[in-house]
Amino acid sequence: MRVLGIDPGLQKTGWGIININGNALHFVASGLIRTNPKDAMARRLAVLHHGLVSVIDEWSPAEAAIEETFVNKNPASALKLGQARGVLLCVPALKGLEVGEYSANKVKKSVVGSGHAAKQQVGMMIKTLLPACGTISEDEADALAVAITHAHYETLGKTLLRANAR
């Protein structure tokens, strides 16, 4: 199964694609969708939309997952990030993909083992789990961590369903 992980951001959105084969995880691709802070909000949201459509069209993931955002102390920033996240949730849904949502703490706990891990720890674990990813940005590492978290929870969910069916 191929999973797209998304680390939402208005200026930089990280994305990462992994293949899951049983318990094996394989890096496929990752990147950033960047917007220009000088552009109008509508233009920036359109860039995010078109960028994620291109990623999905090129890499054909079966499912997607996105990191939930925490409430920012600055209401204007939180609102802008919420608008970006709305676009990033909508694109895979419109493409017919299931979209999982995971808190930052759940992602960190799933990948590092601690819900309060530092970004550097997440990046180091991603390089350990997916050595083929090479040098990537923090946003790409976070997106790959979201994809791995989704893989873990999807695998666990399917295992539990099989166990309950017996």
67 among known catalytic residues:
yes
Is 5 buried (19+), middle (13-18) or exposed (0-12) by CB count in 10 A? buried
Q: What letter represents residue 114's amino acid?
A: S
Which of 157, 137, 99 lies closest to 126 in space, CA to CA?
137
Cα distances (Å, whole numbers) of residue 139 to 1, 8, 28, 94, 106? 22, 9, 16, 24, 16
Cite the DSSP H helix spans in the chain. 41-59, 75-94, 104-111, 119-129, 138-165
Residue 61 DSSP SS3: coil
39 among known catalytic residues:
no
Residue 9 DSSP SS3: coil
Sign of CA dihedral 58, 124, 118, 147: positive
CA Rg value for the chain: 16
Q: Which of 63, 68, 139, 154 is catalytic?
A: 139
Q: Which of 39, 58, 67, 140 is catalytic?
A: 67
Active-site amino acid positions: 7, 67, 139
